[in-house]
Amino acid sequence: MFEENGKSLNDNTENNEAERKEPENTAEIREESADSESIGITEEAVSENVEESREENTDNSEESQPVESSEYSETDKNDAADFAANPTDERAEYTADENAKTEEPGYTPPEYRGKRINMKIKNRKNNKLITAIVIAVMGLYLLLIGVVASGVFGYLKNIKIEVSRNGIVIEKNGESLLPQREEPDIEEHLKIDNTPSGDNQTNQGGKLSVKEIAKKVRASVVGVIGEGSANFSNTSVGSGIIMTEDGYIITNNHVIQGMTKISVITDSGDKYNAYVVGTDSRTDLAVLKVEANGMPAATFGDSDKLEQGDMAVAIGNPAGIQLQNTVTSGIISAINRDIVIEDRNMTLLQTDASINPGNSGGPLVNEYGQVIGINTVKIGISYYEGLGFAIPINTAKPIIDELISRGYVKGRPSIGINGTTITKQDAMFYGLKEGLYIEYVHPHSDAYRKGIQRGDVITKMNGTPLTSTEEIKKIRDQFKAGDTVTLTIFRAGKERDFDIILMDEAELNRIGRPD
């Protein structure tokens, strides 16, 4: 109730009880009464207090309440009365008693109520400290967010994003933020020798017989084997031409496409593991490399000097390695024959020399023993015979040089879409228009950026109606990457024109799915 020097008077209950025991005789009561009169308390008041204390203790005992609790309460009342009568003397006496007690050895002052008070004070201090820490952390967090947001905004403020023929271009202050592919210079790797000209029918002009051609060239022809899986359930067999002594080999793309392991077998029976240097699906060309030196390289002639009726000899592996380096002969049946192969428009040499499955990638040789074409396909129809085709070597040379130098062909125009033809019958049945149904749009193409989407139908390109995929590719190939063309799109019963930039096919292949 009352505190002095940090200690409560109630904490000294035991000491107060000892001082306030019931007097045993009247003399002591008179003494106490005399003392009481000196402080303004009569003898009758003291007696009444004693009797009240006895009655209260008796009542508490009958009620089975702790005596300590009753005495504690009555003592508080007595202390209050004493303190009210003479607070100064009582405080001085109490302080002296407490100081004397603390000097006694082994004395431990009561701490119960003090602890409760101290705990509350400490809890309040801890709560304030925790609150301050939380506020400080939140302030630092918000400050950090502000700094980061400000930095990001300032960084993005100077970024420029646009679509070019090379795909999406992201620049900041004129510098590209996307990794740039190093573009090595294209070096000459395939060398074409001069081809004699004239109508000299004898060997004096360097012309060779079929027998001599076979002896000269067959060592430069290899068998190409592609394996698609570990259990050899998917394999491919074709032919190839040794281009250089250090192991560069030319073949067809369709021979190795999708193969995970490639090997080559030479005319002498040596087998080498090969890896792909580069491929080009448009021209159906591929370049392989084996780790070898001193290989018998072929010589290459000028296909532009060919004339209809010139001798042509085909060497390859029809029906597989079992018939390796089979030789067939004929003539050049036609030059610059435009045909469509698997949606590809190709200008090829036509020959009646027998070209069968397995000859693909092998050489077509002129009468001087020079390779002037790469066998690629045979059109086999029951009532037609002798229709074989080869890629002119002059057409293949720049592709092969770029594949070896860069691993890809740059600058090919691409719309950035995949699609299938909608025929007139399909258009009537599905309520669409005749043209090219779009199945996929490359996300890095300008067509995607302009809003062309899956399900659209391209009905025209630069105003020309489209009825097949061959037509759109033929028109596309008249342009180069970076040019703008106009596509007429049919969507939801309406037609709309879109001006798009043709992309670089090599760049689209580099960053995603090609068209």
The backbone region for 212, taken as left when phi is positive above 0, alpha when psi lies in -120 to 50, beta otherwise, is: alpha
Q: Is 359 helix (H, G, I), strand (E, B) or coil?
A: coil
The backbone region for 394, taken as left when phi is positive above 0, alpha when psi lies in -120 to 50, beta otherwise, is: alpha
The backbone region for 461, taken as left when phi is positive above 0, alpha when psi lies in -120 to 50, beta otherwise, is: beta
What string of H, E and C letters represents the secondary structure of 171-237?
EECCEECCCCCCCCCCCCCCCECCCCCCCCCCHHHCCCCHHHHHHHHHHHEEEEEEECCCCCCCEEE
Match 């009532």 to its residue by tokens.
383
Element (H, E) at 28: helix 26-38
Distance of CA 344 to the CA centre of its chain: 33
Q: What is the distance between the alpha carbons of residues 281 and 284, in angstroms, rounded to a whole number?
A: 5
Residue 388 backbone phi and psi in degrees, to 5:
-115, 155
Neighbours of 243 (CB within 10 A): 23
CA-CA distances (angstroms) from residue 139 to 126, 229, 298? Answer: 20, 60, 77
Residue type, 331: I
CB 348 within 8 A of CB 394: no
CA-CA distances (angstroms) from residue 145 to 132, 149, 151, 186? Answer: 20, 6, 10, 50
* Six-digit token string for 370: 């020079």
Residue 276 CB contacts under 8 Å (≥ 6 apart), including other chains: 256, 262, 286, 287, 288
First to last CA, the chain: 93
Nearest to 99 by CA among 107, 111, 88, 90: 107
Q: What is the distance between the alpha carbons of residues 238 and 316, in angstroms, rounded to a whole number?
A: 8
List, by residue number, the catalytic residues: 254, 284, 360
